[in-house]
Amino acid sequence: MLPYKSHNEKITLLKNGSLDLVENVKYFLSEIEKRKSLNCFLEIFSDDVIQNAEIISEKIKTGKAGKLAGMVIAVKDLLSIKGKRMTCGSKFLENFYPIYTATCVQRLLNEDAIIIGKTNLDEFAMGSSNENSAYGIVRNPVNEAYVPGGSSGGSAAAVAAFQCDVAIGTDTGGSIRQPAAFCGVYGLKPTYGRVSRYGLTSFASSFDTIGAFARTTYDVAALMEVISGYDEMDSTSVKYDVDNYSEDIKSFKKFRIGVTSSLIHEAYSPEIKSKWIATIEKLKLLGHEIVYIDLPHSEYSIAAYYILTTAEASSNLARFDGARYAKRSNESKDLSEMYINSRSEGFGAEVKRRIMLGTYVLSSGYYDAYYLKAQKVRRIIKNDFDKCFKQVDAIIIPTTPTPPFKIGEKTENPLEMYLSDIFTTTANLAGIPGISIPVGHSENGLPIGIQLLADQFNESTLLQLSRQLEMYNYL
């Protein structure tokens, strides 16, 4: 096991010579090799990380190192790194090499973080179980017969399996929070526009956010401090001050916590309900005020989410036609056939399903009935949250309706798979931040997470509450 829990402990050990960074990196590489069956990584930068560890070790000795010096980070293979292969979990991009680095990754490198590799994911981030990757499924490190969640399952599993310190993921409808819950780690989805999306291959542009996985609240805070902030390269990036999250989490401020039954359905697991109620009781014991609220239109969130995101996906993925990007069919006789064959061969079943759904809801005769109506529902859901956040500082709900499910259990029923996002999609529809916090295990030992939501740009509130619950659980 590692001799530290969080990066502030790690950097202290590196500075006083108790920990050798090169050996630390080799430890992670050995853990990746030891548990290759998890299939967390699509590419490992073995030579680069050793070389970078040596350079950063010297910087630490001379006091010239950045904020994240020595932090070993895995990056979801949906984000570009110049000269490194980026597949997006798809055969379409199996030989694609970006010519620039994503802003959030560059900010990590600027602060002397070490990127250990690119993690596996559901193809183009479309999935809730990490069974849709063209490069094989990812397995849950707690029990390999179960899914790690998706689409950022590779990042979540890598952190849970001690194959890196922290990881970067993306969240379109729960793709950070759900796998964080399934793997028993912390996962923060920030406010839309808080982190630059430059260098991210978009699934649904008005929903996608970039966030963090870690084994401690402190590491989530430290990572978010660095990757957050305005970026002129991203038109959706917001000019809003970034809080000093790693200092803020030391506060034991008391908050008003909203509790609602609007999102709770009969189909969710009794084990989830038990952990949800137990976490509410912990918050009471910590001195927080519990306020009962209502989110009356949340029941429409899944329908609105899948109409809007599939519409955006069909538009975003139109550029993958065999003419401009990596995959091109060799069986084509003319241009039209090249488009059809390239997309048929390059995309997997789930991506094709969502493209067809999106094209349908945007088509003449159905645009008003589906797409336009879903946009109106999105606005109503946002209004519901706005009203609630006038009463409370945060809202507590389950992250998932059930603990992790078995590999293959839901692949034949897409609708049932989509419903596993029932508690997470509302945050993306409203553009608000959310964090999943590990709160224990089910009867068969699988992780369970509980989710906290806050108003836009109030990530600090979520991190403070997460840290308080983390410390409570250590007592």
Catalytic residues: 76, 151, 175
Biggest CA–CA distance in the chain, Å, is 70
| First CA to last CA distance, the chain | 21
Helix, strand or coil, per DSSP, at residue 32? helix
Over the Cα atoms of the chain, what is R_g? 21
CA distances from 207 to 170, 189, 225, 342, 382 (A): 10, 11, 21, 27, 13
Rounded CA-CA distance 326/162 in Å is 33
Rounded CA-CA distance 165/68 in Å is 11
Residues in the chain, overall count: 475
Instruction: Please tell me the chain's helix, strand, coil percentages from 3-state DSSP, rounded to the nearest 5.
Output: 45, 15, 45
Task: Return the closest-CA partner of residue 142 out of 403, 325, 474.
Answer: 403
Task: Return the closest-CA partner of residue 452 out of 380, 394, 400, 387.
Answer: 394
Rounded CA-CA distance 121/114 in Å is 21
Bridge-partner residues for 79, per DSSP? 200
Q: Strands of 41-44's sheet, edge to edge? A: 41-44, 114-119, 72-76, 166-171, 209-214, 186-189, 434-441, 447-454, 394-398, 256-259, 289-292
- The answer to whether 149 touches 451, Cβ cutoff 8 Å, is no
Rounded CA-CA distance 406/36 in Å is 19
Q: How many helices (H) and strands (E) does the chain have?
A: 16, 11
Tell me whether residue 422 is exposed, middle or buried, using C-beta atoms within 10 angstroms of its C-beta: 0 to 12, 13 to 18, 19 or more.
Answer: buried
- The answer to whether 395 touches 452, Cβ cutoff 8 Å, is yes
| Concatenated DSSP letters of 412-452 | T-HHHHHGGGTTTHHHHHHT--EEEEEEEE-TTS-EEEEEE
Rounded CA-CA distance 86/78 in Å is 7
